[in-house]
Structure 1
Amino acid sequence: MSATAPPLKDAATVRQQALGWFVRRQDAAWRGEDEHAFQDWLAASPTHGEIYAQCAAQWQAFDGMPADLVAGMRRQLAHDKKATQVRAEPARRRFLKPAFALGAAFAMGGAGYVAWQQMLAQPVWVEAFATDRGQQKEVALPDGSRLRLDTTTRVEVRYFRDRREVHLVAGQAVFAVQSDTNRPFDVLAGPLRVTVVGTRFSVRHTPGQPGRDGVSVAVEEGKVRVARADSAAYGAVYLIAGQRVGSDPAGVLGPVHPVSVEGIAPWREQRISFVDVRLDQALAELARYGDTGLVIHDADVAALRLSGTFDPLNRATLRLALPRVLPVRLVDQGAMTEVRPAH
């Protein structure tokens, strides 16, 4: 004996519930207790399982569609949703165009549209990585891309069906991106978004560090697009290999400068280079890798300009070098050493 079909109004409610369950089950945060609640909902009525299976089958068909068609459907649905607010009936007819019939079938009604958008917004893989002070780390991502994290760096990685995204919370990293034209790779760093398909580049975002509190991007191979993350007010900059650009904390981009391959990320070889940098800012940069044991109390000493290349983990060499390249002397003050004027 077959189950009696539910009234149309009830069927719409169940479909909305099924879409909601399907969306939440794609979330990386789904837990065992969530699955138990879902199974209880399935067991409440045979209709629940039937409608849920329909939603899952429709999504599988959608998930196998070419990326350009998916993108077109997303644009059309967004357009139709906006148009519906002005003229509901004409928008409904456009929504049912044959080219987007699958999207219409899946996105039945406003609730279906929202659920469909939510499914695209759900990450299929999420992970966070971090390094301690003085540590570096090589990270392999599921698609074959690789990250090289510098000291005191934290990143959050999210892969979606139609894009890959890394949030550089703080620190700096080199990205070797596996090419995938169907899923662009975005790095979000402070106010900027760096978009690539396949390349190798570095991004630095060290908020709060004097003189280095903006974002810096340098390209070793390929091409990247650098723009404000909110896509407002400021135009994008395209960088090719051997170029870099920086921004201020608000995301205002500066001019594009050439950079040597060795200058893309010298920290990978345990080298930190300074060119006419204030001494206090240079010491702050070296302190990211470990205690330098050096302090400055004199404003004139702090403003001295330092140029040179240093091993950030070699304190002894730094102490020997400073009095030779700058008019300073080192005076022990218990646990710390003060950098004072030479005379």
Structure 2
Amino acid sequence: MPHRPTPPSSPHRLHTDEADEHSAFMAQQDPLDAAAADWLVRRQDGLTPEEERQFQLWLAADDRHAQAFQQFERLWQRLPTTSALPPAPVKQKVAQSRWRFGETLNAWLPQLSAAAIAFAMVSGGWWGWEQWRDTPTFTESYATVRGQQKKIRLPDGSQLWLDTTTRAEVTYYRDRREVKLPEGQAQFAVQPDPDHPFTVLAGAVRVTVVGTRFSVRNTRSGLHEGDVGVVVEQGHVRVATSSKAPASAHQSSMADLTAGQSLVANAMNGLGPVQQEGTVQAALWREGRVNFDNTPLAVALAEFARYSDVRLLVRDPQVAALRISGSFDLRRLDAFERALPQVLPVRLHNADGVTEIVASRI
């Protein structure tokens, strides 16, 4: 009986269910053709001494094995694209060989024998299967304008709550769920599904969960400007960053957060320290409120500007740098304006329809 080949090596580590799907595909091919084609592609990638020994044993086990292998080797040499590709690292050779068979199959189909077609199927099978696995089963983009918040229910029962001026791009695949958050802030209530991990990509940060509730902020103004903030309200998430900054004793490229914990990260400095944020603090923005904790006045005004027009002007850098603390209603800029002279050494100067925050005169 012909030897059944093992699945070709892949640059990606597979889950058990993924390997089973590919094995089912390979099982549909002619065993002898599949084995010969598989050995040819694997030898291009480079065999270990043990794999070379297994290959020689396979050749010696049956004369038909050597004949099939030589037939595919001759076909490989005749294909016009085998020399068209530039030299590639060893890890890329298998993927490229399968790719070029998929590209040239249609043009060569009239000239190929049944065995050659089987070779093309086997060689291109992994690539085609990977493409099938990476084809979205659901994709949608959502957005809010300034001052708007929106709740969204996704097909699997997970929920998004988008803050003001937020964009979210949701894509579900056969083996995973993915959301890109290029701008804004959102809360995620994820439906548990161990077979389909849920990932949020925001700037240089990657947040992966199975089922939990958490918020991610990726804004270009206001609090944490240019940074990505993650706050967990329930469950557990893993946060990783693509930062290339060297890790130190107080910094790493990966962190696990549980309920009530948070961190801030950016591409330059990686992950910041884990903080005990508290679930009440995490829910403030959904209630239309914000807490300032020793926050520069200019940053506080920028945070209000994310939700509505701010007709308050600060020209003096020293005034802009004044620090403010307190809890405020993001929909009541007028209340914040009235409070400023009570908590900071400033006064409001009105001229030509513009209100400027200036330093108080002693």
The two structures have a TM-score, normalised by structure 1, of 0.70
Unaligned runs of 5+ in 2: 1-13, 27-37, 59-117, 247-251
**Does the Cα contact within 8 Å between 2:221 and 2:303 map onto a contact in 1?**
no
Q: CA deviation at 1:130?
A: 0.4
**Any residues of structure 2 matched to 1:136-175 within 5 Å, and which?**
136-175=149-188
The RMSD of aligned alpha carbons is 3.2
Distance change (3 Å), C-alpha of 1:74 and 1:213: farther
1:336 paired residue number: 354
Aligned residue in 2 for 1:86: 46
Structure 1: 4+ residue segments shifted above 4 A:
71-75, 79-84, 88-93, 208-211, 229-234
SS at match of 1:286: helix
| C-alpha displacement of 1:69 | 2.8
Cα offsets for 1:214-248 (capped at 9, x unmatched): 11101000000000258997531000001001112
State whether structure 2 residue 340 is matched by structure 1 residue 296. Answer: no
Counterpart position of 1:190? 203
C-alpha deviation, 1:108, in angstroms: 3.2
Is contact 2:241–2:254 with CA below 8 Å preserved after alignment? Answer: yes
Q: Does 1:124 align with 2:124?
A: no
On the 8 A contact 1:247/1:254 being kept in 2, the answer is yes
Paired with 1:339 and 1:106, the residues of 2 have a C-alpha distance of: 75
In structure 1, what is the equivalent of residue 285 of structure 2?
Answer: 267
Q: In 1, distance between residues paired with 2:355 and 2:245?
A: 47
Match of 1:39 in 2: none
Verify the 8 A CA contact 2:223 2:300 in the aligned structure 1. no
Number of residue pairs matched by the alignment: 266
1:276-328 Cα shifts (integer Å, max 9, x gaps): 00000111111000112111000110010010111112121111111111111
SS at match of 2:157: coil
Which amino acid is 1:69 matched to?
D
Tell me which residue corresponds to 1:252.
270
- Structure 1 regions of 5+ residues with no counterpart? 1-65, 97-104
Residue identity opposite 2:121 in structure 1: M
CA contact (8 A) 1:106 1:112 kept: no
Residue 298 of structure 1 aligns with an amino acid whose one-letter code is D
Task: Report matched runs for 1:1-343 at 5 Å.
Answer: 68-70=16-18, 84-87=44-47, 90=51, 108-207=121-220, 211-229=224-242, 234-250=252-268, 252-343=270-361
Letter in 1 for 2:342: R
In structure 2, what is the Cα distance between the partners aligned to 1:138 and 1:261? Answer: 19
- Preserved CA contact (<8 Å) 1:222 1:241: yes
2:271 is paired with a residue whose SS is coil
250-259 vs 210-219, greater mean Cα deviation:
210-219
Amino acid at match of 2:324: L
Can you list the C-alpha shifts for 1:42-82, whole angstroms capped at 9, x where unaligned? xxxxxxxxxxxxxxxxxxxxxxxx9633157779x9x9977
Q: In 2, are the aligned partners of 1:106 and 1:116 still within 8 Å (CA)?
A: no
